[in-house]
Structure 1
């Protein structure tokens, strides 16, 4: 995955669409949820501002580049923040029962593929 702003924005939209389907919520709510829960931003517009400004001071913003063919370091960033991401989802969407496999699926990765990549 590239770190071009346009590619990152497309990837974030895909992740939000997957979240929308996963939780059966409107796309706008999924975009806001992804920004807060996955990226640790205050809102979806905050995430967009950070992407457009190429502000990667928050390591979670780098996850906007995570996709099935990404570099291992991105998968490892996700792995190291997975528990806090799940906690964020539980706060934002109580009762949604989001688990590791669901979070990983938001990035287009299969859980077995994810496990294999973090074990190397």
Structure 2
């Protein structure tokens, strides 16, 4: 499965916000394939296939790494912004993208449009 436009934008934003610490992550984006989307009620886990990804780090990451960004994303099916984070394996592979709504309601992940509001200044 392929990434949708929101998932691509979230990952690109996370990569940009963390580029000084993890400059090689951009290489993985073109290799990403979704293995499954797991709907949790309040959000989604977008799990990635690891087969196509390259091993970027050889033990520079001690354990699983969680990356985010301060840029806000809003989808038309929710009132408040969504929360999101990207989980990396120890070798720098993309494990999953987590997207959660902040409305406190069940959400099936559906939306028609989204908007991004970038924070001025340092992202992290």
TM over 0.5: no
Greater Cα radius of gyration, structure 1 or 2: 2
> Please, what TM-score do these two structures have when normalized by structure 1?
0.31
Q: Point out the structure with the larger strand share.
A: 2
Q: Point out the structure with the larger helix share.
A: 1
